[in-house]
Amino acid sequence: MKIVIQPQGTLAIYEQIVNQLKNAIVTGELSAGEALPSIRALAGDLNVSVITTKRAYEDLEKEGLIRSVPGKGFYVCEYNTDYLMEKQLVMLEKRLAEIIGDAKQAGLSAEDIKEMVEALYDAGI
């Protein structure tokens, strides 16, 4: 699994890590029982602080998506993909509502927003 960090993104780096790992779990790219990179290894691979990766893993552990095995590392837990997908959709709807609100304040119409979304989607963003 490859995690891509966007330094100028709107989300904090640890949130980007959390979201991408959640997505990998939902899509089956990461399966239950699979080992994750160590906190230090992930931090080194992504060229970010160990504190950042530690926070991401802590958040995932609090949500019950991964578990820590002392002396061995972190592993993907058994999970309910429907529940996880629903949580992701709720989060996306909230973010999208904020963006639509900003777009309306900027005077954009629904058609302008649709065109912008389609252009960005087609560009692979």
Strands 73-76 and 66-69: antiparallel
Q: What is the pTM of this model?
A: 0.68
Separation between Cα atoms, residue 46 and residue 3, nearest integer Å: 8
Question: Which residues, 6 or more positions from 7, have their beta carbon under 8 angstroms from its beta carbon?
Answer: 13
pLDDT confidence of residue 114? 94
Residue 40 half-sphere exposure toward CB, CA atoms < 13 A:
1
Short-list 10, 17, 30, CA closest to 96: 10
Local structure of 67: helix, strand or coil: strand
Structure tokens belonging to residue 58: 């802590």
Quick: pLDDT tens for 17-72. Answer: 999 999 898 888 999 899 999 999 999 999 999 999 999 999 999 988 899 999 99
Secondary structure (3-state) at 73: strand
